[in-house]
Amino acid sequence: MRIRTTATPGVIAAKRNLVECAHCGAFNRLPPGDRPGRLFCYRCDHRLHRHRPQWSQHALVCVVTGLILFLLSNTQPFISLEMADQVLSTTLLSGVQALLSREEVFLAGLLLLSIFLLPLMQLLTLLYLLLSRLQARAMPASRYGLALLLRFERWNMLEVFLLGVLVTIVKLSDVAQVVPGAGLYSFLAVVLLLNAAGVLINRRQLWQQIDGNDYFVLAGNVELSGCSVCNALVDQRLRYCPRCHSRIARRQLHSLQRTWGFLAAAIVLYIPANTLPMMYTTSFGATRSDTILSGAHHLLVTGQWPIALIVFVASILVPIGKIVVLLYLLVRAHRPTPVRLMHRLRLYRVTEFVGRWSMVDVYVVILMMALVQFGVIANIEPGGAALSFGCVVVLTMLAAESFDPRLLWEGVDETASG
């Protein structure tokens, strides 16, 4: 039966200041109160909590300013390209329109979700939660808003898109005059403000405002599981967390099976992603197709080695590295051992962090397609590899998200550190 409130008969709720580490499964007791600084897991050194004084006021300023600038970044010209007496201006969402006109629905949806819908949802949800905190009460649906925010914040790819914009500007600056617009400067400010708000937010205090209890048990013997969303400790006999209503399990359900599935699909799609053309470039009637590797090589021979290095690392090394590391972690999760345990955990953390940065090459193709549309003079169209590679990035991110690193610690001694 789904538990919806802390007043459910038979549920004992309390505040114990305990939290389960999401990376090793160790139970940590947090010190009373909120002291400025960061708290780390005693066993694996994973950051559990961060607190800054007056964080809510500072975060609110960042969010309100970010919302205003987000509106400007989507209404003002983003980039203009001048070539052969022709001028083409784009907005932030021009790439979505261009992809939809070419029936690239998946890429259009991915772009719209990652650079518009999710950042807007994040800003609006943070505004709602911070206003609720200033009023010192939990407003309706606060728990659902915070849970949604925490589940999807890693899919916000504004920083990756910004890197794609910078790469695009450098690539096009040799063949045309690139003029950054007010929308680009506003977008840059939004990226900085949203990241600042993310650093300032005290998630633990937000959950305590919604429900101060973080320890829910039934009568009798207790086997606890940490809620993956709100960090409350919940009796495993309860199917759902009473505080945030998320599903409760000792470990992520079918973690290894789902990770194997996502990874296998990514490996299959990685082949066409590297063999099919990523982009078609037409100039004065002559058309050239480039794969990911040939595109990086072309940048290198034309003297743009820093951009070639970014493309090679983000589009070749990072995807291969993610696949190899995840395969290694899956094999080790089936047979946990304390030998080099912390080394494996660090590999997982790096893989989880760098996963989304592979999307930079897809963003570059979309931006160049939206910008370079000058008829017979110059024209750029996406190739079949853009869709395959976008799927590879999404699938490897899902694989890393599905993998439960606590499985590496199963049966390992409490003091093991590798």
pTM: predicted TM-score of the whole model, two decimal places: 0.85
pLDDT value of residue 124: 93
Name beta bridge partners: 39: 49
What lies within 8 Å, CB to CB, of 320 at 6+ separation is none
C-beta separation of 8 from 242 below 8 A: yes
Q: Please compute the mean of the pLDDT values over residues 12-34 and round it to a whole number.
A: 78
User: pLDDT digit string (tens) for 198-216?
Assistant: 888 888 888 888 888 888 8
How far is C-alpha 369 from the geometric centre of its chain's CA atoms?
A: 24
Cβ atoms within 10 Å of 116's Cβ, excluding its own: 17
Give 3-state DSSP helix, strand, coil % of the chain, rounded to 5. 55, 15, 30
pLDDT tens, residue by residue, 362-376: 898 888 888 776 554
pLDDT band at 10 (very low <50, low <70, confident <90, very high): low
Task: Tell me the per-residue pLDDT of 57-66, one tens digit each, with 9 for 90 and over.
Answer: 899 999 999 9
Q: For position 272, what pLDDT does the model report?
A: 92
Range list of β-strands (E), 100-141: none
- 300-315 mean pLDDT: 84
DSSP 3-state assignment of 376? coil
| C-beta contacts of 42-47 below 8 A and 24+ residues apart | 43/414, 43/415, 43/417, 44/342, 44/345, 44/417, 46/21, 46/22
Q: How confident is the model at residue 189 (pLDDT cuts 50, 70, 90)?
A: very high
